[in-house]
Amino acid sequence: MKRMKRFLRPLAIVLGITGAAVMLGFVERTTDRTPLTTLDIRVHGGEGVHFIDEMAVRRAVMDHGIAVLGAAAGDVHIAHIEERLRNIPCVADAEVYHDLDGTLHVIVKQREPVVRVLNGDGSSFYIDEDGWVMPVDPDYTARVLVATGWIREPGAVNGVYSVYADDSLAQATCSDEIHRIASFIRKDELWNALIDQLVVNADGEFELIPRVGAQRILIGDGSALEQRFAKLRLFYSEGMPKADWRRYARIDLRFADQIVCTKRNSPNNP
């Protein structure tokens, strides 16, 4: 009897696995033959990000080479649709799948820009939160930090690319540092509300222009941002309340453990 039990137990396991495999195969074949009758589109992105809407996604899906709705699920090339959607510059990622009810689900994640760069040659482009350069949209303008000044970057003329793509460079590029500074500002509630513009001056250093106060805040390069902005926060909380906000034309954060302020109409700032 014990020998019989030892024999029946592995046999039951094998039969169970075989049955499950047969059932999965049946479900897969049934799903592949199911006609697609409904298109469920969801577009995700940060608050206020509207580069692409459901109608644009629908057009991209329908421009697939076959009539998607009405076709058997197995005849629709999911990977091709996902690739088509991911090739849209403002799309960070896309997922497409169908279910037993005949619904084709399309989930699109938009890129979220952190800065708009106004290039020296007159062109313009965004850099998203992950460091990807993307073109501007003629129908929609994202409300983000603007970078101007002595900027000579390739922009988005050759499509979407990462500002961190070339790790062989000994020094960070201008786009690298613009993205680093803009990302730091965006993550802080105070700086995101206060800083309006990022300027690259003729020396290749970065200056901030706040929405109030009319100062230029010189931060130098994109390093030691936490320390430099900590000094600025302390200055705003303890120094500025005791003085007129328009008293200083320039606030220099480049030096360790000190802030150098230049008064308006001083010899150094006529």
pLDDT of residue 269: 59
Q: State pLDDT tens for residues 233-246.
A: 998 888 765 666 67
Amino acid at 3: R
For range 9-35, the mean pLDDT: 53
pLDDT of residue 237: 86
How is domain 38-110 classified at the CATH fold level? Ubiquitin-like (UB roll) (3.10.20)
Residue 25 pLDDT greater than 50, yes or no: no
Q: What is the mean pLDDT of the chain?
A: 83
Residue 166 confidence class, pLDDT cut points 50, 70, 90:
low
Name the one residue in this structure whose structure tokens are 């057009």: 59
Q: State pLDDT tens for residues 63-118.
A: 756 678 888 988 888 999 999 999 999 999 999 999 989 999 999 999 999 999 99
Residue 22 confidence class, pLDDT cut points 50, 70, 90:
very low
For range 178-205, the mean pLDDT: 95
Residue 252 confidence class, pLDDT cut points 50, 70, 90:
very high
First CA to last CA distance, the chain:
104
How many degrees, rounded to 5, is the angle at CA 28 between CA 23 and CA 31? 125
Q: State pLDDT tens for residues 106-165.
A: 999 999 999 999 998 888 999 999 999 999 998 899 999 999 999 988 776 656 778 876
| Torsion sign (Cα): 120, 123, 127, 131 | negative
Amino acid at 200: V
E strands, the chain, in order: 38-44, 91-98, 103-110, 113-118, 124-128, 132-135, 145-149, 161-162, 195-200, 206-210, 216-220, 248-252, 260-263
Name the one residue in this structure whose structure tokens are 């480049």: 254
Residue 247 confidence class, pLDDT cut points 50, 70, 90:
confident
Q: Which CA distances in Å does 227 have to 6, 140, 222, 232?
A: 70, 35, 11, 9
Phi and psi based region of residue 84 (left: phi greater than 0; alpha: psi -120 to 50; beta: remaining) = alpha
Amino acid at 130: D
Domain boundaries defined on the chain: 38-110, 113-263
Amino acid at 194: L
Among the four given CATH numbers 3.30.70.980, 3.40.50.2300, 3.40.50.720, 3.40.50.11690, the one describing domain 113-263? 3.40.50.11690
